[in-house]
Structure 1
Amino acid sequence: MLELQDLSVLRGECPVVDGVTAQVGPGELIGLIGPNGAGKTTLMRGALGLIAHRGASSLAARDPVARAKLAAWLPQAREIAWGLSVAELVALGRLPHGRDQNTVGAAAVEEALRRMGLESYRERTATHLSGGEQARVLIARALAQQSPLILADEPIAGLDPAAQIATMEVFAAHAQAGGAVVTSLHDLGLAARHCTRLWVMDRGRLVADGKPEEVLTEQLLAEVFHIRAHFKITPEGPVFQPLSTLGL
């Protein structure tokens, strides 16, 4: 669904993303993790061809409509500028498919509302919602797009714990149905519990790529995140607990 080959993004002469090679296949929920400024957002924007880059991305060379049919993009910015109803805003996710005011488009919007628990919000004005509620609406808009791949930049930031878990479960279901998701996260516990793979970015480079139990080692947590933490696989699933900082 996505192939990156030696992808780099420069800011002046400084590489913000430095030679990343990676692939995303069906059924994968990939957690993109790393400290602030590691290059996570820039990597996703470069992969979509939204900013100038070197190297290759299988999505970047496509025209915008074709790309949108393959990949939905959920940026960090959550500002909703227009006083649309929730249903109208979610329906904007259907724009890549043309004026499909038919049963397919309507069903996609209804399913997206249901998956994000927004059925009762349908007629509410989106700009009147709380920040967390607006975030859920924008996730629903991405789901309504029905693109097989979703790239989401910190989608659970600012959500309450129940909404964070519910969103990760929605992403997991999308992957299990044959799609794929790449999402940047700062909550390593949710990343460990829900993601099938983790990509670890540090200073622009992809320094680790593997299953959570393979990636979240004591050494990597110390070198990349500067923390000491406890990670264990239990019958209830992975448990991750930060214990202390090692200094920045």
Structure 2
Amino acid sequence: MLQLENLTALRGQCPVVDAVSASIGPGELIGLIGPNGAGKTTLMRAALGLIAHQGDSSLARLDPMARARAAAWLPQAREIAWGLSVAELVALGRLPHGRDHGAQGAEAVAAALARMGLENYRVRIATQLSGGEQARVLIARALAQQSPLILADEPIAGLDPAAQIETMEVFRAHADAGGAVLCSLHDLGLAARHCTRVWVMDRGRLVADGPPATVLSRALLADVFHIRAHFEDTAQGAVFQALSTLKR
């Protein structure tokens, strides 16, 4: 669904993303983690062809409409500019499929609203909702797009704990149904519990890629995040706890 080969993005002469090679296949929910400024957002924007880059991205090679049918993009900024109803805003996710106002489009919108618990919000004006509610509406719009791959930049930031877990469960269901998700996260506990793989970025480079139980080692957490932490795989799922900071 996504193949990156030596993907590099520069700010001036400085590589913000430095020669990243990786791939995403069906059934994967990948957590993209790393410190602030590690290059996570730039990596996703370059992979989508939204900014200038060197190297190759299989998505960036597609024309814009084909790219939108292949991948849905949830940027970090959540500004909703128009006073549309929730149903109208979610229906914008159908634009890559042309003038889709028939049964298939209506079913896709209804399913997306249901998956995000927004059935009773259909006629509410999106700009009048809380920040967390708006975030759920924008995720629903991405789901209505029915693209196999979703790229989401900090999609759970600002959500309450229940909404965070529910959002990760929605992404996991999308992957389990044959799609794939790449989402940047700062909550390493949710990444450990819900993601099938973790990509770790540090200073523009992809420094680790693998299952959470393998990647989230004490050594890596100390080296990349400068924290002392506890990670354990239990019968109830992965448990992660940051215990203290370390000197940089």
TM-score by length of 1: 1.00
SS at structure 2 position matched to 1:207: strand
Q: Which residue of 1 aligns with 2:100?
A: 100
CA distance in 1, matches of 2:54, 2:100: 36
Q: Deviations over 1:25-75 (max 9, x none)?
A: 000000000000000000000000000000000000111000000000000
Q: How many residues align?
A: 248
SS at structure 2 position matched to 1:136: helix
SS at structure 1 position matched to 2:163: helix
Aligned residue runs from structure 1 range 82-231, under 5 A: 82-231=82-231
CA distance in 1, matches of 2:113, 2:183: 20
TM-score by length of 2: 1.00
Letter paired with 1:239: V
1:80 corresponds to 2:80: yes
Letter paired with 2:87: A
CA distance in 2, matches of 1:202, 1:52: 21
CA distance in 2, matches of 1:35, 1:184: 11
Q: CA RMSD in A?
A: 0.4
Q: Which residue of 2 aligns with 1:66?
A: 66
Q: Detail structure 1 runs of 4+ shifted over 6 Å in the superposition.
A: none
CA distance in 2, matches of 1:142, 1:31: 18
Structure 2 portions without partners, runs of 5+: none
Structure 1 portions without partners, runs of 5+: none
CA distance in 1, matches of 2:247, 2:176: 39
CA distance in 2, matches of 1:247, 1:117: 43
Q: Which residue of 2 aligns with 1:235?
A: 235
Letter paired with 1:148: P
Q: Which residue of 2 aligns with 1:2?
A: 2
SS at structure 1 position matched to 2:178: coil
Letter paired with 1:165: I
Letter paired with 1:51: I
